[in-house]
């Protein structure tokens, strides 16, 4: 459990963010900012230090910015007659920055989950 606590309390690293960026899927619709995951993946070496600084600040002040929490709600069609409301489903498009932060934090806490959540 000591190693788990250490991994949870340590500062984020550039490697943590790079690992998150590498595994996030390409080809998804960007959020309100219009910045795709491909942008972050292509320019990772340039943008990751900036993300590290921003994410570290958010964790230290225990608050995220309104910008990163913003989502764009839109409708996408299901199959069938598009004139029927029931043939549409709402989705929220989140920014790639939010997805990177969420993935980075998920990977950081994942080892601790086996100690907190029982398999059954």
CB neighbour class for 97 (10 Å; exposed up to 12, middle 13-18, buried from 19): buried
CB neighbour class for 44 (10 Å; exposed up to 12, middle 13-18, buried from 19): middle
Query: What pLDDT does residue 30 have?
Result: 87
Query: What pLDDT does residue 92 have?
Result: 93
| Tokens coding 34 | 């219009």
Query: What pLDDT does residue 66 have?
Result: 85
Query: What pLDDT does residue 3 have?
Result: 66
Query: What pLDDT does residue 54 have?
Result: 95
Query: What pLDDT does residue 22 have?
Result: 95
Query: What pLDDT does residue 2 have?
Result: 56
Start-to-end CA distance of the chain, whole Å, equals 20
Q: Where are the alpha helices (DSSP H) in 1-120?
A: 2-9, 14-23, 37-42, 44-61, 66-69, 96-116
Query: What pLDDT does residue 8 have?
Result: 78
Query: What pLDDT does residue 96 have?
Result: 94
What is the rounded distance in angstroms from the CA atom of residue 97 to the CA atom of residue 48?
10
| Tokens coding 22 | 């590498």
- What does residue 71 show for φ and ψ, rounded to 5 degrees? -130, 150
pLDDT in tens, the chain (120 residues): 556 667 778 899 999 999 999 999 999 888 889 999 999 999 999 999 999 999 999 999 999 888 888 999 999 999 989 999 999 999 999 999 999 999 999 999 888 887 788 777
Query: What pLDDT does residue 1 have?
Result: 54
Give residue limits of the domains in the chain: 2-68+94-116
């Amino acid at each position: 459990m000591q190693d788990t606590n250490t991994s949870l309390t340590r500062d984020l690293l550039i490697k943590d963010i790079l690992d998150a960026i590498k595994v996030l899927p390409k080809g998804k619709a960007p959020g309100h900012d219009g910045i795709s995951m491909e942008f972050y993946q292509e320019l990772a070496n340039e943008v990751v230090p900036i993300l590290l600084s921003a994410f570290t600040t958010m964790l230290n002040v225990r608050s995220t910015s309104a910008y990163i929490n913003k989502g764009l709600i839109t409708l996408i069609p299901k199959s069938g007659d598009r004139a029927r409301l029931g043939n549409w489903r709402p989705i929220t498009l989140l920014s790639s920055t939010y997805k990177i932060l969420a993935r980075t934090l998920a990977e950081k806490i994942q080892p601790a989950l086996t100690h907190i959540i029982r398999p059954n």
